[in-house]
Structure 1
Amino acid sequence: MARLLRPARAPGPVTRLLQRLVSPRFYLKTAMTALVLGLILVPTVADLVNAALKPVSGEGETCRILRVIDGDTVSLMCPEEGLESARLMGFDTPEKYAPQCLSEFIAAERASWALRTMIQKADQLAITRDGTDRFGRALVRLELDGVDVARLMVRAGHARINTGGPRGSWC
């Protein structure tokens, strides 16, 4: 009778592993970790590598592209202006932070990665400033190896030519 009232043995390592694999919490944690790595950590590291290795020359100063915000907006660090948000001129990409549908968000992520990759592959980066937009962002024309980035993004299918008129839907 005394043997029946003893507490059960603690589960062994194999039993604990099997319990973890059948737990929905395990898959939820794994998915959340992958999401954080894929949407936050990996782009941040890629942007920092580009900033460290790719100076941007333009109008007598050398700037750095610290971050690709979305396919047509970057954060610049310039000696005279400091840290500023810059809208790349000549094209429009899907919105990443206010998408109207899931397909627009996915297209925006692709456009952001396309711009990062183009910056990484370029040997020379040059900017030309052209005032500010209604949101206070610097308006900048970016050239990669002498070619306007607007042309490259449109040709790759990640952007549309920006004519200044109303924006079309990406959905």
Structure 2
Amino acid sequence: MLNEVDVAFYKRRIGEILNEGRRTEWQQQFLADISRKLNRYGPRTRLSDKQVAILKRLTQSPVNHPTLETVTNQTNESKPQPASSAVVPFKKAYVVSARTYRPARIRNPLRPPRLFRRYGIGRTSSAVKGWMAIPLVAILMVFGLINAFTRGTPTTVESAETSLSAVTGTQLNPKGPGKARFTITDGDTIRLNDGTPVRLVGFNTPEKFEPRCSAEAALGNRASARLKELVAGARTTEVALVQCACKPGTEGTKKCNYGRSCGTLSVDGRDVGQTLIAEGLAVSFVCGATRCPPTPRPWCG
């Protein structure tokens, strides 16, 4: 153990040596480490035999200096073993700074050996991870396509695949049998994909928006729902625009059919008006060339 005189001597001597700057880099580092321990622990500083030998050698001076005792393992506390006074020859390879003492780390048993890690086995680089993601994306795309095909043709009117034409008197699915794109307003009115309202001719269904009685309102809702069922379950739908029965020069204005266009709607080759009339959800309503008779509304008695 050190006493206060020993600590003061070695602290002073180490300071002188470091100020001289004549020692090698590792010697200065060793003395600096010992100085920090002395400043921190004072007389309670514990040094090994090797550290004591190196310290004595580096701090030799012409004047006498106190004897530094070393701490050794003692099997019997009542009979302490005397410290060895022999100077251990210095070898650079065996000098260990106090700062290098670290607790032993426990190796992860799941971590691959160093030999495999040196050659890249057991770890995956960012580039490899990027390439591994490509097959995963491809698989997801294939499953998405399979799912799309297995769902079949869309049955909603809004997602049909045939383009429309706004030319009066022409069919609106020129590409052949398919589904025209439109939405259903009520039992006898639809709206084309471009926003054009079309009044279906040849029949009249009960009003569901401005009914005259509750019976007409209920029947109007049934007619609208039935038209949606016919279109949704059809293989093909065809819309054809026709000339409205209006006075010349009023086509497309509020004075002609409330600004609506006129047309027919066929489901699987049959006019929807015929189906609704046969099921009691509509009545026949045929107009002339330039005018129509009074609208039939027999649902309120």
TM-score between both structures, scaled by the size of structure 2? 0.37
Indicate whether 1:90 and 2:192 are aligned: no
Tell me, what secondary structure is at the counterpart of 1:107?
helix
2:187 aligned to 62, 67, 71, which one? 71
Cα displacement (A) at 1:170: 1.3
Asked whether the 8 Å contact 1:56–1:126 carries over to 2, the reply is: no
Cα displacement (A) at 1:56: 7.0
Q: Return closer, same or farther for 1:146/1:135 CA change in 2, 3 Å cut-off.
A: same
Cα displacement (A) at 1:74: 0.9
Which AA in structure 2 matches 1:161? S
- 2-structure distance, mates of 1:60, 1:101: 37
- 1-structure distance, mates of 2:160, 2:186: 20
Cα displacement (A) at 1:55: 4.0
Highest Rg: 1 or 2?
A: 2
2:280 aligned to 154, 157, 170, which one? 157
What residue is the counterpart of 1:50 in the other structure?
A: 157
- 1-structure distance, mates of 2:262, 2:229: 21
Q: Where do 5+ consecutive residues of structure 2 fail to align?
A: 1-154, 174-179, 245-255, 287-291
Greater relative contact order structure (CA < 8 Å, 6+ sep): 1
Q: Return closer, same or farther for 1:60/1:68 CA change in 2, 3 Å cut-off.
A: closer
Tell me, what secondary structure is at the counterpart of 2:196?
strand
Q: Which stretches of structure 1, 4 residues or longer, exceed 3 Å deviation after superposition? A: 53-63
Tell me, what secondary structure is at the counterpart of 1:140?
strand
- 1-structure distance, mates of 2:186, 2:215: 15
Cα displacement (A) at 1:134: 2.4
- 2-structure distance, mates of 1:134, 1:69: 15
Identity of aligned residues (%): 29
TM-score between both structures, scaled by the size of structure 1? 0.62
Which AA in structure 1 matches 2:293? G
Q: Where do 5+ consecutive residues of structure 1 fail to align?
A: 1-47
As a proportion of its length, which structure holds more strand? 1
Which AA in structure 1 matches 2:190? V
